[in-house]
Structure 1
Amino acid sequence: MILGDLGAEVIKIENPKVGDDTRTWGPPWATNKDSNDHSTPESAYFLSINRNKKSITVNLKSPDGIQIIKDLVKKSDILVENYIPGKLDKMGLGFDELSKINPQLIYASITGYGQTGPHSKRAGYDVVIEAEAGLMYITGEEDRPPAKVGVAITGLYANGAIIAALISRSKTNLGQRIDCSLIECQVASLVNIASNYLISNQEATRMGTSHPSIVPYQVFPTKNGFIMIGAGNDKQFKILCHTIDKVEFLNDSRFTTNSDRVLHRKELISLLEERFKDETTEHWLSLLSDKEIPFAPINNIKQTFEHPQILAREMIQEVDHPKAGKIKLTGIPVKYSREALKVRLPPPTLGQHTHEILSDLLHYTNQKIDDLKANGAI
């Protein structure tokens, strides 16, 4: 989707019978009350990550279906796949085979555990990897069971790797294989938590919204809700103390520096919690609004999409979907000074572009396309 947002023509290969699994991940569903199409509705999950793509259906169990993929490879820059290692090799669609057809091909494999190693053949979902690679262990409150993070991130690593491979190809005129695994991306995303362990053998704990190396840096309960405070340095802590009328904290040797505050975390947090509970969230937001200190309310999703900054930055886009009618999607988060990125294509219906791609890109005749339909290849 990110590559599509950047202007790439993205062709999504789907199973002719059921398509992408996420098409059935609902409710919620997107339905068009004004349409006469009462077939299976589109899932909100599928719609969330499939804009700026074209969908074609190809039966990979058919020799003709395999040939379609090979013909597409001849004209493509990038192939992205997420099969268990070795599966596509057996079908004649592995990197070694396809790079012979197109030496410039960038072949990006996204798997649970990578192409090598003792667990390489295991399937992996994001939530499974969160558990196995440490993220779930550090997510949640200290006295509560582990919790999963709400969304997945591996695609962000894959996107950067593909862009880097494109830059490399511009210099070498050769493609290459990208081996991107959920488990390695997850370990890499542990960042400072990983460093704390690797450098000082410090085991992590669940800390809720607080930070292992910065105090105060967490959510505090107020009289009627919550507020997030991030005093990332001594100057910001000083501003905070003056703002909440607790200047005496600045004369307490336990709280002089951030290192002191980390050592005396419990005492300081207890005092701050008492203070923030004295007033409403709205009071504190108003008081902090013109101060040089990071703070925020805890917004729900409705409040997020009503946020004036989100609206001003056009992070809600409305598109016409051929089946669901007008739908709203999240906008494109990165802005460029010379190019205005946009949602060019709504998420596709299953096989919506099969004829277009086979005819316009591969120059198959109508008779050949009809024959492919008849023998179940598409």
Structure 2
Amino acid sequence: MGTPGSGPLAGILVADFSRVLAGPYATMLLGDLGAEVVKVESPGGDDTRNWLPPVRGDVSTYYLGINRNKRSVVLDLKDDSDLVLARELAARADVMIENFKPGGLARYGLDYAAVSAGNRGVVYASISGFGTAGGAGLPGYDLIVQAVSGLMSLTGDPGGSPYRAGISVFDVMTGLHAVSGVLAALYERAGSGVGQHVEVNLLSSALSGMVNHSSAVVAGGVVPFRMGNAHPSLFPYEPLPAKDGELVIAAGNDGQFRKLCDVLGVPELADDPRFARTADRTANREELRPLLVARLEARDRADWFRELSAVGVSCGPINTVGEGLELATDLGLGPVVSPGGVPSVRNPIGLSRTAASYRLPPPGLDEHGDEIRAWLGEA
């Protein structure tokens, strides 16, 4: 079926029964690595097809951003003939990924128990919001998980309202965790010949992904709180005002702080006992901040960016997303690829021998339906 892909996952068939973000992002990454991905859609299509604006032509850019390297087929699971084809796809798949509510596919004979009974080698990945126990009935919206996980309590001005992150950060993170689990299960299957059930959920990904903050609670008994752009354990590690706007400076250790002080023309600060060590600077940040700002405000961000970067002090202006893409281009990262003439952001994984490939643009609804249905209907 179709043109074989290249890459480390060439020859792997992924049955994609997911929609919206976490699942489609995961299956796109697998497709980039060479897998053949069949995107199964309801007659109404993936929800993100209708999430607009913005658009490219009349197509949602949200949908376009997470659905390249796939073929689309509409299969109505409530239709007996379509359900037969859906089960056949699952029976042939090396990997099946779904994000229905836990237990939602059992009524169609497409849950892990049913699929693995006839497909011993299937790696079956389930993505949910809150797992399969007490949270099984809760819908998994990223915004809700940002709220209940504690992330929103950390985001925003200290005296202001909690804020959501600017992206659906836990959907993306959970998609990445799904890919990690699938690849681990495929590796194990190569030796055993037997697949397994991979389960990920947004809340667990959130708690893991908040790393130092969740560790503060479980290991230190300390509940983090909202600090705006400040870091609880480092300073300077935040935006600071220069002459023409704010510059983010991240001096993560004593050596970097000394270099910062040298460039700013205040080397004595690195030897001041109030600021000599990371813990000292964190404890005395309110005394240190105005001393750094007094120097930074004398020159433009571009000047400081150039000089600080040259000596290994991490810093950068606060860009728009467009400017971020321009920077990546200037740095030679080639961030944009255009399969079929549709621009999207390159897979971030670089492989020296089996590189990612970009074979297909995001498909139209049921674009490959006739081809796939004919293939599934073969005896």
Q: Decide whether aligned partners of structure 1 residues 264 and 311 sit closer, same or farther in structure 2, where only a CA change above 3 A counts.
A: closer
Equivalent residue in structure 2 for 1:331, among 338, 343, 346? 346
Larger deviation, residues 126-135 vs 308-317: 308-317
Q: CA RMSD in A?
A: 1.5
- How far is 1:28 from its partner? 1.0
Number of the residue aligned with 1:345: 360
Contact 2:75 2:82 in 1 (8 A): yes
Number of the residue aligned with 2:157: 141
Give the counterpart letter for 1:331 in structure 2. Answer: R
- How far is 1:74 from its partner? 1.9
* Identity among equivalent pairs (%): 36
Q: Does 1:5 align with 2:5?
A: no
SS in 1 for 2:339: strand
- 2: CA distance, partners of 1:362 / 1:136: 49
- 2: CA distance, partners of 1:78 / 1:110: 13
Q: Does 1:199 align with 2:219?
A: yes
Give the counterpart letter for 1:286 in structure 2. Answer: R
Q: Decide whether aligned partners of structure 1 residues 342 and 114 sit closer, same or farther in structure 2, where only a CA change above 3 A counts.
A: same
Give the counterpart letter for 2:32 in structure 1. Answer: D
Contact 2:274 2:284 in 1 (8 A): yes
Larger deviation, residues 68-77 vs 243-252: 243-252
Unaligned runs of 5+ in 2: 1-27
- How far is 1:361 from its partner? 5.0
Equivalent residue in structure 1 for 2:132, among 104, 107, 115? 115
The structure with the largest alpha-carbon Rg is: 1
Contact 1:73 1:101 in 2 (8 A): no
Q: Decide whether aligned partners of structure 1 residues 307 and 188 sit closer, same or farther in structure 2, where only a CA change above 3 A counts.
A: same
- How far is 1:165 from its partner? 0.8
Give the counterpart letter for 2:127 in structure 1. Answer: I
Larger deviation, residues 119-128 vs 287-296: 287-296
Aligned residues, how many? 348
- 1: CA distance, partners of 2:92 / 2:310: 55
Unaligned runs of 5+ in 1: 32-40, 321-325, 365-378
- 2: CA distance, partners of 1:219 / 1:94: 48
- How far is 1:281 from its partner? 0.9
1:227-256 CA distance string (max 9 Å, x none): 111111111111100100112212321101
Number of the residue aligned with 1:28: 54
TM-score between both structures, scaled by the size of structure 2: 0.88
Larger deviation, residues 77-86 vs 282-291: 282-291
Contact 2:122 2:195 in 1 (8 A): yes
Number of the residue aligned with 1:45: 62
- 1: CA distance, partners of 2:331 / 2:253: 31
- How far is 1:175 from its partner? 1.2
Contact 2:87 2:109 in 1 (8 A): no
1:59-116 CA distance string (max 9 Å, x none): 0111222211111122111111111112111222111111111111111110111112
Give the counterpart letter for 1:51 in structure 2. Answer: R
- 1: CA distance, partners of 2:73 / 2:55: 22
1:266-323 CA distance string (max 9 Å, x none): 2112322232222211221232231121111211122112225466222111233xxx
Give the counterpart letter for 1:329 in structure 2. Answer: S
- 1: CA distance, partners of 2:81 / 2:55: 34
Contact 1:79 1:107 in 2 (8 A): yes
Q: Decide whether aligned partners of structure 1 residues 218 and 7 sit closer, same or farther in structure 2, where only a CA change above 3 A counts.
A: same
1:129-152 CA distance string (max 9 Å, x none): 011111111122222211112223
Q: Does 1:96 align with 2:113?
A: yes
- How far is 1:362 from its partner? 4.3
Equivalent residue in structure 2 for 1:302, among 322, 343, 360? 322
Contact 2:85 2:376 in 1 (8 A): no
1:208-239 CA distance string (max 9 Å, x none): 33221111111111111111111111111111
Contact 1:142 1:208 in 2 (8 A): yes
Q: Decide whether aligned partners of structure 1 residues 362 and 76 sit closer, same or farther in structure 2, where only a CA change above 3 A counts.
A: farther
- 1: CA distance, partners of 2:302 / 2:143: 36
Contact 2:90 2:96 in 1 (8 A): yes
Larger deviation, residues 205-214 vs 105-114: 205-214
Q: Does 1:363 align with 2:345?
A: no
Give the counterpart letter for 1:290 in structure 2. Answer: A
- 1: CA distance, partners of 2:136 / 2:145: 13
SS in 1 for 2:274: helix
Q: Does 1:78 align with 2:104?
A: no
Q: Decide whether aligned partners of structure 1 residues 319 and 167 sit closer, same or farther in structure 2, where only a CA change above 3 A counts.
A: closer
SS in 2 for 1:253: coil
TM-score between both structures, scaled by the size of structure 1: 0.88
Contact 1:255 1:261 in 2 (8 A): yes
- How far is 1:177 from its partner? 1.1
Number of the residue aligned with 2:86: 69
Number of the residue aligned with 2:275: 255
